């Protein structure tokens, strides 16, 4: 089991502890609430159960996933087909990021969001041959590798990677700065 899968399991255990409900009870609550859109369900979970945005988002995603799809295998879906060769890059990024301390992993449709009090990074395939790491932090000078993003986006910087060797101390240093600033 990858570190990301373990983190998702931990997040789901924490949600169950916060709400006092089992995952099956939470899924039934969502199924019976009469809502069908992800955002509506997420907002209901935040409002009615007092969950944070990331926990509510993850729970809504899990509950809406078709029954035949394994709930903890989001990365296999993101890194399927021609993108499968990028999974080792992702795994190495996550292995190094877990050394920072605790954070939440919120799986999205095509990437994972890494959060503390707020999102500090996004990791996912941008193409069949490239992963992008989006970083939320301020005040760093751009260079050929650390690309400044337009204002108003989800991340202020992005770094493009194609192989595990690019998961180096420079990238991890930037990620650590973003992690520290988020919480």
Could you read off the pLDDT of 124-164 as tens digits, one per residue? Answer: 999 999 999 999 999 899 899 999 999 888 899 999 999 99
| Residue found under tokens 């707020």 | 118
Question: Encoding tokens for residue 143?
Answer: 């260079």
Of 91, 113, 95, whose CA–CA distance to 182 is shortest? 113
| Domains identified in the chain and CATH numbers | 3-64 (no CATH), 75-181 (3.90.1150)
Q: What is the pTM of this model?
A: 0.62
Cα separation values, 75 from 35, 89, 91, 101, 152, Å? 26, 12, 10, 21, 27
Question: Which token pair is 59?
Answer: 């729970």
pLDDT, tens digit, 9 for 90 and up, residues 73-106 = 788 889 999 999 999 999 999 999 999 999 988 8
Which pLDDT score is estimated for 122?
96
**DSSP class of residue 10?**
H
């Amino acid at each position: 089991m990858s570190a990301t899968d373990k983190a998702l399991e931990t997040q789901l255990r924490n949600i169950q502890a916060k709400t006092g409900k089992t995952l099956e009870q939470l899924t039934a609550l969502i199924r019976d609430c009469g809502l069908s859109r992800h955002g509506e369900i997420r907002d209901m979970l935040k409002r009615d159960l007092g969950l944070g945005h990331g926990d509510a988002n993850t729970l809504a995603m899990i509950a809406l996933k078709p029954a035949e799809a394994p709930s903890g295998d989001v990365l296999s879906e993101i890194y399927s087909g021609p993108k499968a060769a990028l999974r080792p890059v992702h795994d190495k990024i996550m292995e190094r990021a877990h050394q920072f301390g605790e954070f939440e992993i919120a799986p999205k449709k095509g990437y994972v969001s890494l959060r503390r009090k707020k999102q500090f990074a996004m990791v996912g395939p941008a193409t069949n041959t490239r992963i992008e790491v989006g970083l939320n932090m301020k005040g760093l000078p751009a260079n050929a590798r650390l690309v400044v993003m337009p204002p108003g986006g989800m991340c202020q910087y992005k770094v493009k990677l194609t192989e595990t060797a690019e998961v180096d101390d420079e990238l991890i240093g930037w990620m650590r700065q973003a992690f520290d600033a988020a919480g």
